[in-house]
Amino acid sequence: MTRLFQISRPLLLLGAVALLLALMACGGGPPAPPALAYDLPAGTSLTYEMADTTYVDIDAMGQTMQTVQASSGIAEVTMEPVGDGVRVTMTFPELSASLTQPMAGTLSADESALKGSVVFTLDRRGHVQVEEVPDVSGTLEQLFEGGAVAHTFFPRLPGRGVGAGDTWTDTIAFSAEIANGEMESTMILTYTAEGNATVDGRNVLRIAVEGDATTEVTASMQGADIFQSAVAGVQGHVLWDTNAGVMVEQVTEMEGDGTIDVSMAPEPMPIQLRGRSIIRLKNE
């Protein structure tokens, strides 16, 4: 019995190797995870609910003043394949935005001040090329910038399959014209695949997001030149539908500080800022 076992054991091993080679030749083994990338069929239509609020506390010569900028609305998104990615057309049938400032009350605006669409392309990894932004009028000029929406609405992706614990890092940098000035923003974000979950019947991958954001604003207002610089820590998460290949949710929180330099003020004023943004796929 011992000799039979000793003879047959190599045969069993050879048989196992032969089976493994056959499986490899036939593409056997566990399937590779689907690529995490922007690759969608023609006519993909999605509706997202969005809301964000940002608080800025200004230390003005010993007195603290707070400004609050808030918005909420609906974004209707269509995607069409183009080149190595998709073209996104985004409209806003509902939009409400406000800016509350000390000693100046609250300014508000809605979608009636918005004419046109935000149109941009996303390559497989989510790098953005802005093609068109809507015309904005009135108070909404201070509260909405189509280029900034295009660059920050969707997450960056690795363009490959990932497993739990895999990470990728990307830089999101853009400049945008704002009312009476210009804004430059750079975000360096690290994404970490945490694992799968089920949300509203969807199989989603939860992705943690963490990094830093630097923003500089140069503007002129009421005869004064203004320069604002801030650095903030960013954290949040993305829920990605691995079957449909679409974003289900993106939640971002940021907190940081900086300075605002007004030409009429004797010295730069410290600022602290914090905010939260939510974008969520609306269930039809």
Per the structure, the complete domain to which residue 43 belongs is given by 33-281
13 and 81 co-located in one domain? no
Q: What is the mean pLDDT of residues 172-192?
A: 92
The rounded distance, in Å, linking the Cα atoms of 106 and 98 is: 7
The CA distances from residue 231 to 142, 214, 226, 264, in Å, are 21, 5, 17, 24
73 and 26 co-located in one domain? no
For residue 268, what pLDDT is reported?
92
For residue 22, is pLDDT > 50? no
For residue 270, is pLDDT > 70? yes
For residue 1, is pLDDT > 80? no
For residue 18, what pLDDT is reported?
45
For residue 103, what pLDDT is reported?
75
Give all strands (DSSP E) within 38-178, no chain letters.
44-60, 63-81, 85-101, 105-110, 114-115, 118-123, 128-132, 135-136, 167-178
24 and 40 co-located in one domain? no
Which pTM does this prediction carry?
Answer: 0.85
The CA distances from residue 81 to 38, 47, 89, 128, 158, in Å, are 9, 18, 12, 14, 18
20 and 140 co-located in one domain? no
228 and 160 co-located in one domain? yes
For residue 24, what pLDDT is reported?
47
Q: What is the mean pLDDT of residues 71-99?
A: 97
CA angle 67, 278, 153 (to 5 degrees): 100
CATH of the domain at 126: 2.30.230
For residue 20, is pLDDT > 60? no
More confident residue, 180 or 118: 118
For residue 2, what pLDDT is reported?
41
166 and 200 co-located in one domain? yes
| Residue that the structure tokens 């974004």 belong to | 75
For residue 146, what pLDDT is reported?
94
For residue 284, what pLDDT is reported?
60
59 and 122 co-located in one domain? yes
Q: Which of 37-41, 103-107, 124-128 is predicted least confidently? A: 103-107
For residue 183, is pLDDT > 80? yes
Strands 135-136 and 128-132: unpaired
25 and 118 co-located in one domain? no
Burial of 201: CB neighbours in 10 Å, binned 0-12, 13-18, 19+: exposed
Task: Specify the number of domains making up the chain.
Answer: 2
163 and 238 co-located in one domain? yes
208 and 149 co-located in one domain? yes
220 and 234 co-located in one domain? yes
10 and 129 co-located in one domain? no
pLDDT tens-digit series, residues 197-247: 998 889 999 999 999 999 999 988 778 899 999 999 999 999 999 999 999
